[in-house]
Amino acid sequence: MSVTLDDVAKRAGVSAKTVSRAVNGEKGISETTRERILSLVDEMNYVPHTQAQNLASGKTHSIALHYPLFSPTLISEGLEMSFVSGIGGEAAQANYYFTLFTGELDQRELTRICRASIADGIILMQVSMDDWRVETLRKLHFPFVMIGRCQDNQGLSFVDFDFENAVIDAYAHLVDLGHREIGFLTYPPAWQQESLGPAIRAYLGFQQAIDRFRLKPICYEANLTVESGYARATEAVKEHPDITAFVVMHNTVAVGAINAIQSLGRRIPDDYSVVGVALGKESDLILPPLNAIHWYGDQIGQRAAKILINTLTNKTAKPEQILVHHKIEIRGSTARISQSH
């Protein structure tokens, strides 16, 4: 039903291989033949059958992303499209297809994906410190790149946000302004239990900041909802009446905290300073606009895809490990403590 390579070859009076050469831009064919064939290809509306190409060549020209979205204990919100679109854009530019797996996989299914020639390589998201997927892919010698990283990253490629230092920077900013009693609103307890990288590293950053600046450790784990942020912030203020600032790890939690502060009849930044860390694009919606350290999912996704595709193309490519730069953006949600207290 569709036009095939052979159809074109017959019409052109050449062999299939010659048409193949013309279509794929291979060397070893005269310019005149190529042009003649290509115009015929155009005329006949020939499109190579991807599956057949893949089967014959043993490559899929496709990368996969595993972004487990339906794991309620791990992530309830904050699914960021920006990572997906960053990867998709980069894949398209490199002429790779992009297959998305959003379910929670088990080892069997992941193995199946690798063995079934669905993709040449895979990008992992929601990486935990000791992620079983990493071991599985390693054993299968299946190329992959992590967005995030685990405990032992030797020989692995990743792109990650530097949660640890971002948290420290947020604290430094507040300490500079004279704050000493700072509430830390971090990721859900479930994330810590599952050893998800962001939770572990954010907490490490918190501990370092406490040590370095000799602060009282005030830490609350919030689920990623406005309600939970509201509840935890309210608790924090009750249990530590001298708190003057918050460092918050998620946009919905930040909104809950803001809401809580305003419900108490207090103001930002006059009464409380607030700094967000690792906020995505949707944090634009937050009022008042927060001083925050953002991450840019599209850029992270793009780099991850680039590294993966490079690995696939270039056999001698070495592992790349990238911690993206971050810096705090100032928008007026923090104030010098002397102004208000």
Q: Which stretch binds a copy of itself (CB under 8 A): 31-39, 40-48, 124-132, 185-193?
A: 40-48
Q: Are strands 157-161 and 121-124 parallel, antiparallel or unpaired?
A: unpaired
Residue 165 near which of DNA, a copy of itself, none (CB within 5-8 Å, type-dependent): none
- Both structure tokens of 227: 């309600």
Smallest gap from residue 312 Cβ to a copy of itself (A): 16
SS (H, E, C) the chain: CCCCHHHHHHHHCCCHHHHHHHHCCCCCCCHHHHHHHHHHHHHHCCCCCHHHHHHHHCCCCEEEEECCCCCCCCCCCCCCHHHHHHHHHHHHHCCCEEEEECCCCCHHHHHHHHHCCCCCEEEECCCECCCHHHHHHHHHCCCEEEECCCCCCCCCEEEEECHHHHHHHHHHHHHHCCCCCEEEEECCHHHHHCCEHHHHHHHHHHHHHHHHHCCCCCEEECCCCHHHHHHHHHHHHHHCCCCCEEEECCHHHHHHHHHHHHHCCCCCCCCCEEEEEEECHHHHHCCCCCEEEECCHHHHHHHHHHHHHHHHHCCCCCCCEEEECCCEECCCCCCCHHHHC
Smallest gap from residue 38 Cβ to DNA (A): 12
Contacting a copy of itself within 168-197 (CB under 8 A)? none
Instruction: Kindly state whether residue 313 participates in binding DNA, applying the rule CB under 7 A.
Output: no
Residue 112 near which of DNA, a copy of itself, none (CB within 5-8 Å, type-dependent): a copy of itself
Give the nearer residue to a copy of itself in terms of CB position, either 80 or 194: 80
Give the nearer residue to DNA in terms of CB position, either 33 or 195: 33
Instruction: Kindly state whether residue 331 participates in binding a copy of itself, applying the rule CB under 8 A.
Output: no
Instruction: Kindly state whether residue 24 participates in binding DNA, applying the rule CB under 7 A.
Output: yes
Angle at the Cα of 50 from the Cα atoms of 7 and 157, rounded to 5 degrees: 155
Torsion of the alpha carbons at 106, 122, 198 and 205, rounded to the nearest 10:
130
Q: Pick from 9, 84, 199, 304 the residue near a copy of itself by CB under 8 A.
A: 84
Instruction: Kindly state whether residue 57 participates in binding DNA, applying the rule CB under 7 A.
Output: yes
Q: Pick from 60, 136, 165, 333 the residue near a copy of itself by CB under 8 A.
A: 60
Residue 30 near which of a copy of itself, DNA, none (CB within 5-8 Å, type-dependent): DNA
Q: Pick from 14, 253, 255, 268 the residue near DNA by CB under 7 A.
A: 14
Nearest in space to 174 (alpha carbons), one of 250, 247, 241, 260: 247
Q: 284-323 mask for a copy of itself (x: CB under 8 A)?
A: xxxx------------------------------------
Residue 77 near which of a copy of itself, DNA, none (CB within 5-8 Å, type-dependent): a copy of itself
Instruction: Kindly state whether residue 117 participates in binding a copy of itself, applying the rule CB under 8 A.
Output: yes
Q: Which stretch binds a copy of itself (CB under 8 A): 130-138, 189-197, 234-242, 280-288?
A: 280-288
Q: Pick from 16, 33, 44, 89 the residue near a copy of itself by CB under 8 A.
A: 89
Asked if 329 and 291 count as a contact pair (C-beta separation under 8 A), the reply is yes
Residues that bind a copy of itself in the complex, under the rule CB under 8 A? 2, 45, 47-52, 54-55, 60, 62, 69-70, 77, 79-82, 84-85, 88-89, 92, 97-103, 111-112, 115-118, 225-226, 251-252, 255, 258-259, 262, 281-287
Give the interface with DNA as residue ranges (CB under 7 A): 1-2, 4-6, 13-18, 20-21, 23-24, 27-30, 33, 46-49, 52-53, 55-58
